[in-house]
Structures are given as C-alpha cells and as structure tokens.
Amino acid sequence: MVISTSNAFHREDQEDLKLLANPYQVVEIQVSSKPVGQPDILISLAEAQNAKEASTKIQNYLKEKKNSYGP
C-alpha cells in the first residue's frame, strides 16, 4: 500500500506504480475540488472535513470492488 500526497507523484509515476503493482489493483483516491485524471474515488473537500464520511466512502468502494473481483 502506498499513501502519498498528490504532489509526491506525477501522473507518469502513478502509471509506473500501476505497472509495478500488476497484477494487483491500484486504487487512486483524490481529495480535491479539481480532480486530475480519473481517480477511482473522489472525495470532496467538504467530505474530507468529516473523516467518518470520507472513510465510509472508501470502505464502500473497496467492498464493491471485492465483490466484483472476488476474495
């Protein structure tokens, strides 16, 4: 698992990380009012103020993906 601020990795670096992680899934989460690219999860700045709401959104996404991809 890699967690970083958005300015730590450029788009090209994110693509490299996806290649390195293959065959494992990479989930891109952005906290922004102006997303870059197509993140898997976009958390608004308002949602980010409420940690429970933001974490629930992430958990729900991961649960859906687990059901789609299997265990």
Q: In the numeric block, which tokens belong to residue 46?
A: 């308002």
Percent of the chain past pLDDT 70, that is, above it, reads 80
pLDDT digits (tens, 9 = 90+) for 25-52: 888 888 888 888 888 899 999 999 999 9
Q: Which amino acid is at 69?
A: Y
Environment class of residue 11 by beta-carbon count within 10 Å: exposed (0-12), middle (13-18) or buried (19+)? exposed
**What does pTM read for this prediction?**
0.71
pLDDT of residue 38: 84
